Structure 1
Amino acid sequence: MKITDKIYGEFIIESVLEELINSTVVQRLKYIHQGGASYLVNKKWNVTRYEHSIGVMLLIRKLGGSVEEQIAGLLHDVSHTSFSHVVDLVFKNNNEDYHEKIYNEMIIESEIPHILAKYDYHYDELLSNMSQWKLLEQPAPELCADRIDYTLRDMYEYGHISLRNAHNFLDHLIVVDGQIYLDNINEAEWFVDTYYKGLVTG
């Protein structure tokens, strides 16, 4: 399957990734927005969890991550509910982790375990401990594919950065011992500034 992303470009991906992308739980992310209900206020704030999940998968791939970590990246947000983190406000969940609490249940009840088993992967080994995937997730202020993608994608769609800005930044990413770093201080400062602007804007 050939897949094209406006930020990362064109890739040919493995069949297991194609089947996972076409699964019901991943396709539903096309209708869940990163910014919750904010797209109802500003039409530019319309990035979906689907676009973000594909982006995280492709960024991990671009950085040399394994197919297993790409799978984890693709599926890391599948348990988000309608309007994303708005549900945390509804349930007065200050940790904003409702989607994490229901993650395993949603995976088990979906077609994901069957698809993974078809390709000799076990969902529990790949998805029960996301901390094993160093490219995918890191605590702030460390860099990770999740944080990089939503920052670049959101800020590009909001009109605050250009594709050239994003590509310049990506060109300076390096991986050392499985973790993401930058080889240029100017790009590091640019990302910090862009990231915090995204928090304020979003």
Structure 2
Amino acid sequence: MKINDRLYGEADVEPVLDELIRSGSVQRLKGVHQGGASFLVNPGWNVTRYEHSLGVMLLIRKLGGSLEEQIAGLLHDVSHTAFSHVIDDVFQMVNEDYHEQIFSGWVRHSDIPDILHTYGFSHEKLLYDDSKWTLLEQPAPALCADRIDYTLRDSLAYGFAEKDEIAEFIETGLTVFEGEICCTSISAAEWFTRLYYREVVDFFMHPLNLYGLKLVSKVLKQALEMRLITKDDILKTDDELIAVLNESHGLKGELKKLSTAKQRVKQGGPNDFTFHQTLKTRLIDPQVIQNGRKAPASSLSENVRQMTETAADAMEKGAYVKVSQ
């Protein structure tokens, strides 16, 4: 199977990856948007979990990761619910990890174990302990394939960065040192840090994005209380779940408000807002290779320290959103 990705180009993948990609479990992710409900308020915010999952797999591949780690990368988001992290708001998951908590149970009841077994792999050995996959996942503020791909992918799609500068960063700005993804220079670390905080502050905390999250979360809570949907329904695709929600005239009316959000939603202030929203704090501090050793970018660059301080302050304050009728 040959796949073509907008960030990493063309790649021929092994039969096990081919079959996993074609599986119903991974194909479902084509209908799950990475930005939660954001696509409902801005159709341009339309990156899917499928694109991201293939991207993480390909980045691990590009960095020399094993086939096993590529499999783990491809499948790391397979249990994401409809509307992605909106469900974390519905269930008040402070760490935004609902999909991680249901991951093992979801996989065990999917088509994935049989596919892996066919090719001599064990889902128990590959998928339930990310600590063994140091390229795929690292605790913040370190770099990892997951964090890098969603930042680069969203930034290209939403106009935060150009394709050629992203390609240069992938080709020359990243390396693997002692099993960890690092930046090859201070300038590369500064570039990625700036992009990452633009993603977190300018996209995640955008008033339109937060309004979409808040309204869809409210509708889903009501639908669960009405027993119009169950927890099983949130494992549908976004469009499938919307179709169920639209069966209720009242909920359909609420969802229709999303289509006019651009005209009604704007940045508010501490003394003039409809609601105030904070999100999980997300910081980044890439390791940089200097003279054969790695060091956190914040210890080498005043720019990185200042960007982190500014972003952390913005995240702590949260966003004030003003909504007109």
Interval of TM-score (by shorter of Structure 1 and Structure 2): over 0.9
Deviation for aligned residue 1:125: 0.2
Pairwise CA distance, 1:101 = 1.0
Q: Counterparts of 1:152-171 in structure 2 under 5 Å?
A: 152-171=152-171
Shift of 1:95: 1.6
Partner of 1:53: 53
Structure 1 residue 197 corresponds to structure 2 residue 191: no
Q: Which residue of 1 aligns with 2:149?
A: 149
Number of positions where the alignment pairs a residue of Structure 1 with one of Structure 2: 202
* Equivalent in the alignment of 1:130: 130
* 1:184, distance to aligned residue in structure 2 (A): 1.3
Q: Which amino acid aligns with 1:153?
A: R
Give the letter aligned to residue 56 of structure 2. V
Specify the alignment match of 2:222 in structure 1. Answer: none
CA distance in 2, matches of 1:131, 1:9: 28
Give the unaligned 5+ runs of structure 2.
Answer: 205-325
CA distance in structure 1 between the aligned counterparts of 2:183 and 2:86, rounded to whole angstroms: 33
Identity %: 60
Cα distance, 1:19 vs structure 2 = 0.4
CA distance in 2, matches of 1:187, 1:42: 30
Map 1:176-191 onto structure 2 (within 5 A): 176-191=177-192
Whose radius of gyration is greater, 1 or 2? 2
Deviations 1:65-92 (A, max 9, x none): 0000000000000000000010111111
Runs of 4+ in 1 over 6 A off after TM superposition: none
CA shift, 1:39, in A, is: 0.7
* Match of residue 97 from structure 2: 97
How far did residue 15 of structure 1 move?
A: 0.3
Per the alignment, residue 12 of structure 2 pairs with 12
Question: Could you tell me how far 1:140 is from its partner in structure 2?
Answer: 1.4
Equivalent-residue separation in structure 1 for 2:153 and 2:9 (angstroms): 13
Measure, in 2, the Cα distance between the counterparts of 1:79 and 1:13.
22
Note the aligned Cα RMSD (angstroms): 0.7
Q: Distance in 2 between matches of 1:93 and 1:59?
A: 29
Equivalent AA in structure 2 for residue 128 of structure 1? Y
- Indicate the SS of the match to 2:10: strand
Distance 2:88 2:183 in 1: 33
In structure 1, the gaps of 5 or more residues are none
AA matched with 2:15: S
What TM-score results when the alignment is normalised by the length of structure 1? 0.98
1:123-174 deviation per Cα after TM superposition (whole angstroms, max 9, x unaligned)? 0000010111000001112111000000000010001101111111112211
Q: What is the CA distance between 1:7 and its match in structure 2?
A: 0.5
